[in-house]
Structure 1
C-alpha cells in the first residue's frame, strides 16, 4: 500500500509538519551545500529549514561542478560571505561583530561527508570560516553522531541567526525541528521510544535542572 505525502512539507500525511511551520525572514542569507545522501533522508533537517526560512538556498552535490551555479551566485554577490565550519582558523561568531546582512555557507551531511565536500571544493577556503562557541546541546535525539558537539544543520542555522540577529525570534525553527523529532519518535516501537527521552535544554544549551 502506497503512502500519501503532504504536498507542502513532503512528509507522510500522518506525520505532516505544516501545523508547526511558521515562516521567518532573517536578514542573513542561508546557503546550504547538501550531500546527495541527505536529500531523501527521513531525518533531513534542511527540508524543515527551507520551510521555515523560505529564502534558504540549497545546492546538492559533492564536486565543484555540482556547485557551478552557486559559485556564480557568490561571485556576483556584494555581501560578506562566511563558511560555517569549525577549524583551527575559524573564529567564534559570538565573539566578533559580523553584519547580519551577509551570506552563511553551511555543509549538510555527516562530519565525514561534510569534510569530503570541503576537500573536493577548495574554493570554499577563500571565505573566512566561523563557528559557534562551545556549550550548545543538540536537540537531535534521534540521530547519532561521532561528535558530542554535533548539531543538525537547522540547529546550526538557528544559533548562528540568534548570534547575528538577536532581535530575530528563532523559536519557529526549534519548534518545527522539535515537532519532527517528536513525530519520528512516536513512529518508533514503544520499547525503542524509551531510549529517546527528551533532555532538559534551555535555548539549545544543556540545563542542569
Structure 2
C-alpha cells in the first residue's frame, strides 16, 4: 500500500524512538489494511473515480492506529493528502497544497466555533466574490483527523487555516461508527465526514462506496477484536459488492 496515509505512517514509525504496538498485534497484521491477517479485507477494496480531494491533517499517532478511518479515505480517493500536525511547524507541502489554484479548500468543522462570515453550508457558496472563476475549482476537503480534543487544538492553533472557508455539516443522521468511543454523541468519524462531503460535492457513488467500505472494514475489525465469527455474506459485504459492480 502506497497511499498518503500509509506513507505518513511509515514516516512516523521511522521517526519513533520505540516501536508502536497496537492492541491485538500478536497474531500479525496485514500491512495493507492493518487488520489481523486472518481478517484481511484487501481483496474487497473498491475502486471508484473521484474528482474531489481530501486533505487529512492528522494527530501525532493517528496514522499508526489500526482503527484510523482516514486510511479508508485514502484507499478510495486518489487525491488524498496526509500531513502530521505540529503546533510549532507546518509542512511547506501543506501550505503549497492549500494555495494550489486547482483546488478550493474547505475546512470541515462545526460552524458554531467560528465567525459566521467564514461558514458555508453548500459548496456553491463563494466565501469571496473575487474567487469566482470561469473554470470551477475542485473541492478539497480539509479534515482534522484525531480525537475531538485533538481536532479542537489543531483548529485553534493552526493559523494557516484561518483564511479557509469553514464547511459546517448538518447530516440529520446518527453516526454508525463503532470502533472507538467519542466524547460527543453527535461526532462522526473521519470517513463518515468524508462521505458526507463527497455527497455534498455530487460524488454520490463515491460517498456510498466509502460508507460501505467503512462498514465492511468495521465488521472485519470488530470480528477480529472480539474473536467472533465473520459473516462475509453480511448486508454490508453485499452492499459493497453491489456498489463495486456498478449500475446493473
Q: Please, what TM-score do these two structures have when normalized by structure 2?
A: 0.68
Larger gyration radius, structure 1 or structure 2:
2
Distance 1:104 1:20, change over 3 A: same
The residue number in structure 1 matching 2:139 is 102
Task: Find the partner of 1:28 among 42, 52, 72.
Answer: 52
Pair 1:126-2:155 in alignment: no
CA distance in 2: counterparts of 1:62 and 1:183, whole angstroms: 32
- The 2-side partners of 1:113 and 1:187 are apart by 28
Within 5 Å, give how 1:39-58 maps onto structure 2.
39-58=63-82
| Pairing 1:73–2:102 present | no
Structure 2: how far apart are the matches of 1:42 and 1:139? 18
TM-fit CA distance, 1:105: 0.8
Q: 1:168 to 1:156 in 2, by over 3 A?
A: same
**Alpha-carbon distance between aligned partners in 2 of 1:134 and 1:6, rounded to the nearest angstrom:** 33
Deviates more, 1:9-18 or 1:26-35: 9-18
TM-score by length of 1: 0.80
Counterpart of 1:172 in 2: which secondary structure? helix
Bigger Cα displacement from structure 2, 158-167 vs 6-15: 6-15
1:9 alignment partner in structure 2: 33
SS of the equivalent of 2:35 reads: coil
Q: Which of 177, 180, 189 pairs up with 1:152?
A: 189
Q: Does 1:87 align with 2:111?
A: yes
C-alpha RMSD of matched pairs (Å):
2.6
CA drift at 1:100? 7.1
Could you tell me which residue of structure 2 aligns to residue 176 of structure 1? 213
Unpaired segments of 5 or more residues in structure 2? 1-24, 127-135, 229-248
Distance 1:102 1:127 in 2: 12
Do the aligned residues in 2 keep the contact of 1:4 with 1:13 (CA within 8 Å)? yes
Aligned equivalents of 1:74 and 1:154: distance in 2? 21
Contact 1:21 1:172 in 2 (8 A): no
Task: Give the aligned partner of residue 163 of structure 1.
Answer: 200
- What SS does structure 2 have at the residue aligned with 1:36? coil
Once residues 190 and 13 of structure 1 are traced to their aligned partners in structure 2, the CA distance between those partners, rounded to angstroms, is 13
